[in-house]
């Protein structure tokens, strides 16, 4: 986890997920959650970026 990745995930949640996981299911889920509301997308992006074991 990097500080820059966390900042990007806060500002643009799907971009943070894309940067961490690439173009896949988690990225598209992040887009859907962000469209549904910024807060759900933000929470999911922070979960992926901060708690991801990769």
Mean pLDDT of all residues in the chain?
Answer: 92
Average pLDDT over every residue of 27-48: 96
**Alpha-helix residue ranges (DSSP H) falling in 1-54:** 3-11, 13-21, 25-36, 38-51
Q: In total, how many domains does the chain have?
A: 1
Tell me the two tokens of residue 52.
């991801």
Assess whether pLDDT exceeds 90 at residue 54.
no
What is the reported pTM?
0.87
Range of the domain at 20: 3-51
């Amino acid at each position: 986890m990097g500080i820059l990745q966390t900042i990007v995930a806060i500002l643009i949640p799907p971009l943070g997920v894309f940067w961490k996981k690439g173009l896949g299911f988690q990225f598209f889920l992040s887009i859907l959650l962000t469209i549904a509301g910024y807060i759900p997308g933000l929470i999911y992006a922070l979960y992926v970026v901060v708690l991801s074991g990769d």
